Amino acid sequence: MIDLRSDTVTQPTPAMRDAMARAEVGDDVYGEDPTVNRLEELAADMLGKDAALFVSSGTMGNLIALLTHCARGDEIIVGNQAHIFVAEQGGASVLGGIAMYPLQNQPDGTMRLDDIRNAIRTDDVHYPRTRLICLENTHMRLNGAPLSVEYHEQVREIADAHRLEIHTDGARIFNAAVALNVNVKEIARFSDSVQFCLSKGLAAPIGSMLVGARDFIHEARRARKLIGGGTRQAGIIAAAGIVALETRIERLAQDHANAKYLAEQLADVPGIELDPSSIQTNMVIFDLAPNGIPAHELARRVQAQGVLLQPRGAYKLRAATHYGVTRADVDTALQAIRAALAE
């Protein structure tokens, strides 16, 4: 199977399995797992922050960040296409009593700066208190668009002017850094906290990191325990995370080139609507002509030819590239898609 549904399907590399087998471990709730501690130091250092916390998933990392930044009744400003708003069951509201103020995401993954300014609440007894601005980089639902360093800086200026904090859902922040050709620290420096995933393009089997200031991570560690995310000999999985950070970032450029190639070829297929210039990282989201076959039917037909795509709407599909997908696989997938549309 050529699995283009997501970069979450990546399998751990042989080096990861080897590191997992050999990992030195201890009880991480006591802070005694040397491998987890090493991963947390490495992540904090790479992102240019004081401290880091190892968590089970991106969803958990975002939730812990929001629970730590906000009290009950506080409000966050978040994009209406953001994973935090769309795809985390409203966890911050359900579990933290945190209100969400969704703003229209632009096609490049940003929220308009004026929209952010206008959404910040005045001190009025009717309103919740604005506390946090959430960004997503890369922006998954918007073709994996990377947000520029300049945009992060502009949002920081607004946050500072209103004494707000910023959390970035950087599930794929290394994809952004590679696409923008900047050190990831440059992106992270304008956010108080960043969550990033080890288990997507970086290919680790499990885990995400939350990074931020020392006091913030101290509180986040409490929130992680609160929601049952304190784990014991977690070094077994943290070991793979270290290998991910040390060895898997370089590969992302190839994933981006494969996504670009896929997009350029798909744009020429009759019945597919897609602007290949919007593809800068590893996500290719494309539309089918509304009078043609629906997305789930195309997915079914290509599956019969050994290719998995993810339907993301009645006439919308996603293909994500990752290290399990070669250029030859992309060609095979293209053939399958062309054949399926011609059926």
Q: Of 57, 81, 175, 321, which one interacts with ligand TLP (CB under 6 A)?
A: 57
Residue 120 vs residues 103, 114, 123, 127, 160: alpha-carbon distances, Å: 11, 10, 10, 10, 12
Q: Of 8, 93, 183, 247, which one interacts with ligand TLP (CB under 6 A)?
A: 8
Whether cis (ω within 30° of 0) applies to the bond prior to 122 is no
Torsion 85-86-92-94 (CA) sign:
positive
CB of 235 to ligand TLP, least distance (A): 19
- Binding range to ligand TLP, per CB under 6 A, among 26-34, 54-62, 116-124, 148-156: 54-62
The rounded distance, in Å, linking the Cα atoms of 322 and 186 is: 24
Kindly provide the b/e burial profile for residues 264-302, where b requires at least 16 CB atoms within 10 angstroms of the residue's own CB: ebbbebebbebebebbbbbbbbbbbeeeebbbeebbebb
CB of 196 to ligand TLP, least distance (A): 9
- Binding range to ligand TLP, per CB under 6 A, among 53-61, 95-103, 143-151, 219-227: 53-61
CB of 32 to ligand TLP, least distance (A): 25
Residue 3 in the binding site for ligand TLP (CB under 6 A)? no
Q: Which is nearer to ligand TLP, 28 or 169 (CB)?
A: 169
Residue 10 in the binding site for ligand TLP (CB under 6 A)? no
| DSSP label at residue 282 | S
Q: Which is nearer to ligand TLP, 59 or 280 (CB)?
A: 59
Q: Which is nearer to ligand TLP, 78 or 149 (CB)?
A: 78
**Residue whose tokens read 């339907």:** 311
Contact map string, positions 84 to 103, toward ligand TLP, x by CB under 6 A: ---x----------------
Q: Of 35, 53, 58, 204, which one interacts with ligand TLP (CB under 6 A)?
A: 58
Residue 255 in the binding site for ligand TLP (CB under 6 A)? no
Please, which of residues 144-203 interact with ligand TLP by CB under 6 A?
Answer: 169, 171, 197, 199
Residue 274 in the binding site for ligand TLP (CB under 6 A)? no
Q: Of 10, 59, 105, 281, which one interacts with ligand TLP (CB under 6 A)?
A: 59
Pairing state between β 51-55 and 208-212:
antiparallel
What are the residues facing 257 on neighbouring strands?
Answer: none
| DSSP label at residue 37 | H
Question: Where does residue 192 rank: exposed (0-12), middle (13-18), buried (19+ CB within 10 A)?
Answer: buried
The rounded distance, in Å, linking the Cα atoms of 278 and 79 is: 19
Residue 80 in the binding site for ligand TLP (CB under 6 A)? no
| Token code pair at residue 212 | 């931020």
Residue 240 in the binding site for ligand TLP (CB under 6 A)? no
CB of 85 to ligand TLP, least distance (A): 11
Residue 252 in the binding site for ligand TLP (CB under 6 A)? no
Please, which of residues 120-139 interact with ligand TLP by CB under 6 A?
Answer: 136
136: left (phi over 0), alpha (psi -120 to 50) or beta: beta
Q: Which residues contribute to the site for ligand TLP (CB under 6 A)?
A: 6, 8, 57-59, 83, 87, 136, 140, 169, 171, 197, 199, 208
